[in-house]
Amino acid sequence: MLRKSRGFSLVWIVPIVAAAVGIWLAVTTVMNRGPLVSVTFVTAEGLEAGKTKVKYRDVDVGTVEAVRVTKDLKGILVEARMEKSFAPNVTENSRFWVVRPRVGFSGVTGLGTLLSGAYIEVEPAEGASATSFVGLEEPPLIRSDVEGTQFKLVAENLGSVDRGAPVYYRGFEVGQILGHKLSDDGKRFEIPIFVRSPHDKLVVPDSHFWDVSGISFRAGADGIDLKIASVASLIAGGVEFSSPDGRAGPAAAGTTFTLFPDESSIGDSRIAAHIPYIIDFDGSVRGLQVGAPVEFRGIRTGTVTQIELIPDFTSGKAPIRVYVDLEPQRFANSDPADTIEEQYERTKHLVSLGLRAQLKTGNLLTGDLFIAMNLMPDAPPAEVEMIDGVPLIPSVPTDLEALTASISGLLDRLSSLPIEDIVQSLQRSAATIENIVADPDVAAGIENLAAAGSDLRSLIAELEASTGPMARSAEAAVAQAQQTMQSVDAMLGQNSTLRYQLERVLQELTTAARSIRSFADMLDRDPSAIIRGRRE
């Protein structure tokens, strides 16, 4: 007998409800799941599936679900599930990077990850939705929400400028260097920089940028120039810029500027016209370097561009040829419209008035030389010689060379004097005097004078008795005459002082003549001994 089936059992209510709840939870989970994005990195250092978080401003907005190697084995593919509420902010312009401890010129970052572990930082941006990204290997220096303007600098040498270095305006930090790369032609470096708002309005088309990295030291004919930047620049380098007064409107984003090696180089770059000249020097140019200044009465008017030796085997001379560029724009009354031929004609006129070039010492410590141009009316007449279409400006010796030449000429004149003949003549004169003094007739004459004086005294004694005062006066006169005769005898006698002094004078003259001869011979062999002294 068949049983009659019963109705729906209440026992099935529990599994049915459980299944419905499960389906609802599954559907809800799927509906609330955010998109899965993939980010490619070079390395997976510090990243773990299921543990590493994706954050925005320290708030979790996603979780890494998988970490695996790319198919080409050149990178790491990280898959992260983003929060649904944050998904609209993940666009094609979003940026991802790994936050881990880093030490750089801009400071130490990511120290908090030493305990919590590395995480992926995301920077939202506007744009179309996307799920595939290439991660940054370094955190961006400037976030996309920071207002400002980006410019580009170009430089022949990179120096110590590096990523993260500051950009200054009058010593105040207003931006950062974003990086650097070599240009496609390999001739210069391209350096992108970012200047924050509102300071980006200070950058105008006529602004000038220069390197202020660390310590700048330069020693030359201009002297010693030492500049020390800020502590940050000593460590990381830096760039500073200035803008002229009465500046125009702000420069457009992406404007390219030249990065000068230092501030002093900016003034030289404003000189557009450079007129070549040649100067020959017969003496040594040791200490003169390429880049040395050419000055006119202390004002820089040009620069040395080349130095070379021009030997002349026919004449045996070897002048030093110096090529210089003069800059007419440094003269207040110069006319930019003047042609180079007009400049050369003006130079010829100045040479006719006495314009000459001369080497001078610019720095006593380093011994560097510079070329001084000056009007010398007393200089020997000279004309401008054209060499391959370039004028040759006449030069004059240095002050030391002129002094040495003057002394050498004096010594030559002394050497040409008949010193030996003069000494011999003096010796003959002395011998003649000695013979006169030693002549017996002279001695006899002196004795006769003495006898005459004695007789005269007797006569005076006789006259005194008769003439009285007159006789005594005459006797006094005779006594004075006798004393005079004795003085003459003492002066001209064999052991007299006069005779001894005459002999001494002759000996000193002979010694002086020999010394002058020896001194002239020494300078003839080595004229520079008058400056350095006699060599031992």
- Dump the DSSP string for 357-414: EEEEES-TTT--EEEEEEE-TTSPP--PEEETTEEEE-B---HHHHHHHHHHHHHHHH
pLDDT digits (tens, 9 = 90+) for 335-355: 666 788 888 888 888 888 888
95-99 β-sheet, strand order: 95-99, 119-123, 53-56, 59-69, 76-83, 33-41, 132-134
Given 248, 269, 290, which residue is the final one in a domain? 269
Are 383 and 460 contained in the same domain? no
Host domain of residue 204: 148-269
* Residue 93 DSSP SS3: coil
Are 153 and 235 contained in the same domain? yes
| Exposure class string for 274-283: b at 16+ Cβ within 10 A, else e | ebbbbbbbee
How many domains does the chain divide into?
4
Which region, left, alpha or beta, applies to residue 440 given φ > 0 means left and ψ of -120 to 50 means alpha?
Answer: alpha
Q: pLDDT exceeding 70 applies to what percent of the chain?
A: 68
Does residue 175 carry a pLDDT above 70? yes
Question: Which helix (H) or strand (E) segment is 316 a member of?
Answer: none
Are 155 and 236 contained in the same domain? yes
Per-residue pLDDT at 1: 45
CA distance 442 to 384: 76
- Give me the mean pLDDT over the 135-164 stretch: 87
44 found inside a domain: yes
424 found inside a domain: yes
Are 190 and 304 contained in the same domain? no
- Give me the mean pLDDT over the 268-275 stretch: 66
Are 152 and 232 contained in the same domain? yes
Q: What pTM, to 2 d.p., does this model score?
A: 0.53
Are 95 and 191 contained in the same domain? no
CA distance 266 to 242: 11
Are 241 and 312 contained in the same domain? no
329 found inside a domain: yes
Task: Collect all residues with Cβ–Cβ distance below 8 Å to 120 and sequence separation of at least 6.
Answer: 39, 47, 52, 53, 54, 55, 62, 64, 78, 80, 96, 97, 98, 99, 135
Residue 151 in tokens = 């410019």
Are 388 and 286 contained in the same domain? yes
209 found inside a domain: yes
210 found inside a domain: yes
User: In the block, which residue shows the tokens 């509906």?
Assistant: 31
Beta bridge partners of 210: 240, 260
CA distance 132 to 124: 14
Are 157 and 227 contained in the same domain? yes
Mean pLDDT, rounded, of the chain:
78
Are 51 and 124 contained in the same domain? yes
Are 44 and 130 contained in the same domain? yes
Does residue 234 carry a pLDDT above 60? no
194-203, 301-310, 476-485: the lowest-pLDDT one: 476-485
Per-residue pLDDT at 263: 79
Per-residue pLDDT at 383: 86
Crossing angle of helices 497-525 and 469-492, in 10° steps, is 40
Given 397, 428, 451, which residue is the final one in a domain? 397
CA distance 54 to 96: 9
pLDDT digits (tens, 9 = 90+) for 407-462: 766 666 767 767 777 777 777 777 777 776 666 766 676 677 777 767 777 776 76
4 found inside a domain: no
| Residue 122 · residue 93 · CB < 8 Å | no
478 found inside a domain: yes
Are 327 and 291 contained in the same domain? yes
371 found inside a domain: yes
